């Protein structure tokens, strides 16, 4: 299956092509696609300005997301799904298969937890288990539930 997403909607191709536009009444709703991800267990995740969609289920701030605008997904080596938002930091989904109304489904990490920047664009996991975040404020290392901002004094370019 080939999956593509943009501000104009998304396209799924498997034997035949199906295009979903932002205005079409589907699970995509009126939100433009912001992030697209497929996990090892073949679940399909789509981030929008109003939360995210897994299959045909929508997850929003009502379900515990720290911010409605989802910009990044990442499945770490232990199978945990991380979600990056555009202003609310990150969260870890406790169970990828849980229903949207599951209590305490998301563990949130934001400025209250030491995250210096709430706009997260991407993730990378180092083989030693350290999670790296790409943010508006630069590169941030997340290890043992603690954040460390990297800057030019650590060798990064300005």
Look over the chain and give the mean of its residue pLDDT values, rounded to a whole number. 83
pLDDT (mean) for 142-147: 92
CATH superfamily, region 2-10+17-154: YVTN repeat-like/Quinoprotein amine dehydrogenase (2.130.10.10)
For 115-132, b/e burial (b = at least 16 CB within 10 A) is bebbbbeebebeeeeebb
Radius of gyration (C-alpha) of the chain in whole angstroms: 16
Whether pLDDT at 55 is above 60: yes
Q: Where are the domains of the chain?
A: 2-10+17-154
Q: What is the mean pLDDT of residues 107-132?
A: 93
- Which of the pair, 30 or 47, is modelled with greater confidence? 47
Alpha carbon separation from 79 to 92, 95, 97, 119, 133 (Å, rounded)? 11, 9, 12, 23, 17
Sheet of 138-143, strand order:
120-125, 131-135, 138-143, 146-149
What confidence tens digit (pLDDT) does each residue in 25-46 have?
455 555 578 899 999 998 989 9
Contact indicator for 109, 142 with CB cutoff of 8 Å:
yes
State how far the Cα of 138 lies from the Cα of 125, in Å rounded to an integer: 16
- In the prediction, which pLDDT does 56 show? 82
Q: Is the pLDDT of residue 64 over 80?
A: yes
Of 28, 129, 40, 120, the C-alpha closest to 83 is 120
Reported as a single tens digit per residue, the pLDDT across 72-107 is 999 999 999 999 999 999 999 999 999 999 999 999
pLDDT in tens, 3-29: 555 455 554 545 554 555 555 545 555
Q: Which residues of 1-13 are buried (b: 16+ CB within 10 A; e: fewer)?
A: eebebeeebbbee
């Amino acid at each position: 299956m080939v999956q593509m997403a943009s501000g104009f909607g998304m396209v799924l191709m498997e034997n035949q092509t199906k295009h979903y536009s932002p205005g079409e009444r589907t699970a995509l709703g009126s939100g433009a696609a912001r992030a697209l991800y497929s996990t090892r267990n073949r679940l399909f995740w789509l981030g929008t300005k109003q939360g995210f969609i897994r299959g045909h289920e929508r997850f929003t701030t009502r379900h515990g997301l720290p911010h409605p605008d989802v910009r990044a997904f990442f499945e770490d080596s232990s199978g945990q799904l991380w979600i990056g938002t555009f202003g609310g930091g990150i969260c870890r989904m406790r169970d990828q298969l849980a229903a949207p109304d599951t209590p305490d489904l998301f563990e949130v990490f934001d400025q209250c937890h030491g995250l210096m920047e709430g706009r997260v664009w991407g993730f990378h996991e180092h083989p030693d288990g350290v999670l790296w975040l790409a943010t508006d404020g630069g590169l941030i290392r997340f290890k043992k539930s603690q954040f460390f901002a990297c800057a030019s004094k650590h060798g990064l370019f300005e």
